[in-house]
Amino acid sequence: MQNAFGMHALSIKNLSKKYKSGVEALKSVSFDVQQGDFFALLGPNGAGKTTAIGIITSLVNKSSGSIEVFGHDMDKELAEAKSCIGVVPQEVNLNLFDFNFNILVNQAGFYGIPRSEGKKRAEQYLKKMQLWEKRKTDARSLSGGMKRRLMVARALVNRPKLLLLDEPTAGVDIETRRMMWDFLRDLNNKGTTIILTTHYLEEAEQLCNKVAIIDEGKIIENDSMQNVLKKLKTEVFILNTEKPLDEAPNIKGYLASLRSPQEIEITVSQEQGVNDAFSSLQESGVKVLSMRNKNSRLEELFLDLTKGQLGDDS
Amino acid sequence: MRTQFIGMISLVRKETSRVLRIWVQTLIPPGITMSLYFIIFGTLIGKRIGEMEGYPYMEYIAPGLVMMSVITNSYGNVVGSFFNAKIQGHIEELLVSPLSEVFIVIGYLAGGIIRGLAVGTVVTFIALFFTQINIKYPLMTFFVVIMTAGVFSLAGLINAIFAKKFDDIAVIPSFVLAPLTYLGGVFYTVSLLPEFWQTISRLNPILYMINSMRYSVIGISDVSIQNALMMIVFFFIILFLIAVILLRKGIGIRQ
């Protein structure tokens, strides 16, 4: 499907899913992902993110609605649509007893890529994911972070135009996460459309240019990251002071509290800015050494929109 | 179609390499079990039995024992491989790929047949230490072994599709497959049984497979060979279609 900006990588119309248990995971969800987007699909646990990814990758049967992947209707051109997709699932789903190299070569084969080419790609992506040294070991001997990287490599062997990442950095160390971020940014810059679900909202804020927030099976926000963040009414900052304080200083016009003797927490509305707060603190003789956001900005908005709900994954 | 073919070959290669990688589990145990059958039923007890249908007892039971190992191993290969893929989740590697359900079934089927053939060959070589085997109709033997291995590979696949826990893949081999195989005329001719039990035995599909094998090897059968061959082909087609439909509907593998 074409639009004014080019082809939709993914177009979802009125997608619904009701499980046999009676749970309605998706309620007539519609959204489009533009070719080249780095798209965040966010929502609290049980909101329907994984169900949506499951339906797009045909691991979950939909109840109604339609999906097009690069113009291929999944009801009519399933194989063509699947050929465009690579997926990194939330749960580790590797053959733990097979060699890592074979896992990638076999996956390439399932996408119709000849073995000789599959071997080249396996080498390329294992090297990119810093797993080449582990090619002859089986997947069960890998650490949690390595297994995630192997799943990313596996998702890339068919060189997908649309990459779906369901919590790809869950449980990995900071170094690996940063490495994955750089890699994914580079991949997106080279033209791969990426859809990311994550619980690390900082990750979405850092990487994605578009965001949709799903809650209780419905899309409650769908816009560019820039526009979504503009909707943030207040932000909470933590100020580190030079000297310990006995009580929170009175900062005129701001809500302030003491988190610890050397940490002040202040809530700042969008119109206020922080200059007046610093002036007021200076007048009180409080010297501020540094300042940081309490939560990421997206996290603030997310909690506001979803009312901070928690639930089970579905 | 080329994409599908390459995908299927990849799956066949994966399944075959699994059989060879774990050869201690896949090829050695049936060899040991069947050696014991040949020693106990053939050499020790067989001498006292003498002849069965005009053939030395060892020669009479050899085709049935080969077929018994083909049946249990082709079934066990696919039920184990597919169920493990389900439990570990890597069945999703196939489900997200463009490989169609027909070729997924063919891939697993081929894996089961290859294991059946490999084990059948091992057991045949072992049998040669105990008796002579002059295959009367080699092409028919090959056809019967391949098709029977295929039927039980498909049955194993269907079992694994429905299975939700390890018990579910152990129940059918223990409570259905083993009794039907032992009562399928591996060790005796059904003509020895009273009329009532002969009729009951004829309801056992494995009887037709064992007798097809025996006919193709030594030229005798308790049942009409035409009926037996048609029954094998019938089961093969029906089970193949059922497996494809189940996968297409996502029974047991898609929510």
| A313 part of a folded domain | no
As for how many domains chain A has, the answer is 2
Q: What is the pLDDT of residue A296?
A: 65
Which CATH number fits the domain that encloses residue A135?
A: 3.40.50.300
Q: What angle do CA B62, B66, B67 make, to 5 degrees?
A: 115
Looking at A180, A198, A230, the residue that finishes a domain is A230
Q: Is A95 an interface residue toward B (CB < 8 Å)? A: yes
Do residue A197 and residue A50 come from a single domain? Answer: yes
Do residue A8 and residue A157 come from a single domain? Answer: yes
φ/ψ bin of A64: left (φ > 0), alpha (ψ from -120 to 50), beta (otherwise): beta
As a whole number of angstroms, the distance between CA B20 and CA B28 comes to: 11
> pLDDT tier at A312 (50, 70, 90 boundaries)?
very low
Closest CB from B98, B254, B255 relative to A82: B98
Do residue A93 and residue A17 come from a single domain? Answer: yes
Looking at A180, A210, A230, the residue that finishes a domain is A230
What are the structure tokens assigned to A34, written together?
């533009």
Domain that holds residue A251: 234-306
Q: Using the predicted structure, report yes or no on whether residue A314 has a pLDDT greater than 60.
A: no
Do residue A113 and residue A77 come from a single domain? Answer: yes
Do residue A181 and residue A297 come from a single domain? Answer: no
What are the structure tokens assigned to B227, written together?
């009926």
Length of chain B, in residues: 255
Q: Using the predicted structure, report yes or no on whether residue A3 has a pLDDT greater than 80.
A: no
Which residues, 6+ apart, have CB-to-CB distance to B96 below 8 Å?
Answer: A57, A58, A59, A82, A85, A87
Do residue A156 and residue A270 come from a single domain? Answer: no
Q: Using the predicted structure, report yes or no on whether residue A1 has a pLDDT greater than 70.
A: no
Do residue A62 and residue A191 come from a single domain? Answer: yes
φ/ψ bin of B6: left (φ > 0), alpha (ψ from -120 to 50), beta (otherwise): alpha
Q: Cβ–Cβ of B6/A113 closer than 8 Å? A: yes
Do residue A212 and residue A149 come from a single domain? Answer: yes
Q: What is the pLDDT of residue A232?
A: 65
Distance from CA of B91 to the nearest CA of A (A): 8
Q: Using the predicted structure, report yes or no on whether residue A4 has a pLDDT greater than 80.
A: no
Do residue A136 and residue A89 come from a single domain? Answer: yes
Do residue A91 and residue A220 come from a single domain? Answer: yes
Do residue A259 and residue A189 come from a single domain? Answer: no
- Residue with the bigger pLDDT between A224 and A2: it is A224
Looking at A230, A263, A281, the residue that finishes a domain is A230
Interface test with B, best of A110, A115, A164 (most B CBs within 10 A): A110
Do residue A32 and residue A101 come from a single domain? Answer: yes
As a whole number of angstroms, the distance between CA B82 and CA A261 comes to: 60
Q: What is the pLDDT of residue B26?
A: 85
| A275 part of a folded domain | yes
Domains of chain B: which residue ranges? 2-249
| A312 part of a folded domain | no
Q: Using the predicted structure, report yes or no on whether residue A69 has a pLDDT greater than 60.
A: yes
Question: Average pLDDT of each block of 10 consecutive residues along chain B (255 residues)?
Answer: 91 91 87 88 80 86 92 94 94 94 96 94 90 90 95 96 92 89 87 87 92 93 93 96 95 84
What are the structure tokens assigned to A58, written together?
């045909």
| A251 part of a folded domain | yes
Q: Cβ–Cβ of A107/B97 closer than 8 Å? A: yes
Tell me the C-alpha to C-alpha distance, in Å, between residue A232 and each of A41, A226, A275, B31. 18, 11, 19, 71
Q: Which of B109, B73, B108, B84 is nearest to B165 (CA)?
A: B84
Q: Using the predicted structure, report yes or no on whether residue A83 has a pLDDT greater than 80.
A: yes
Distance from CA of A173 to the nearest CA of B (A): 24
Computed over its alpha carbons, how large is the radius of gyration of chain B?
Answer: 19
Q: Using the predicted structure, report yes or no on whether residue A133 has a pLDDT greater than 80.
A: yes
Q: What is the pLDDT of residue A110?
A: 96
